[in-house]
Amino acid sequence: MTVWKDEDEAPNLTGDEFDHPQGRWKHGGEPIEEVQGKAAFREALKKKQVNMLIDADVLEFYRRKAGGRGYQTLINRTLRESMERNALLDAVRQVVREELHRPS
C-alpha cells in the first residue's frame, strides 16, 4: 500500500481502476476470501444499540444542530471526538511526566 504525505502527490485516477473491482482482502496482513473480508468489515463498523437518558436540553441542542435528522450520528461523533481528544491528552500528560522524571 502506498501512503502519500500529501494527497496532491497521489496519481490522478483515469477511470481504468474501475475495470478491476476485485480487490484483495487481507486481515492481519494475510490474504483472506472476499466473504470473510466483508464480514470482518461489517463487524468492525457495527454500532451497538443502547438506551440511555439524556437531558432534554442536550437532546434538543443536537436535534436542532443536526436539523432534525442525523442527531444520533452527531451525538456519536461528538462522543468519539471527546474520546480521542482525551486519549491524546493522556498521551501528552504521560510524555510530560516521563520528561519531568528523567534524570538530567
The domain segmentation of the chain, as residue ranges, is: 23-50, 53-104
What grid cell was written down for 7? 494527497
The pLDDT of residue 58: 96
Mean pLDDT to the nearest integer, 57-62: 96
Closest CA to 50 of 83, 68, 76, 25: 76
Mean pLDDT to the nearest integer, 59-75: 92
Phi, psi of 31 (to 5 degrees): -65, 140
pLDDT band at 92 (very low <50, low <70, confident <90, very high): confident
The pLDDT of residue 29: 80
The overall average pLDDT reported for the chain is 82
pTM of the model: 0.49
The pLDDT of residue 12: 74
Mean pLDDT to the nearest integer, 75-101: 88
Q: Of all helices (H) and strands (E), which one includes residue 30?
A: strand 30-31
* DSSP-based three-state secondary structure for 11: coil
The answer to whether 15 touches 21, Cβ cutoff 8 Å, is no
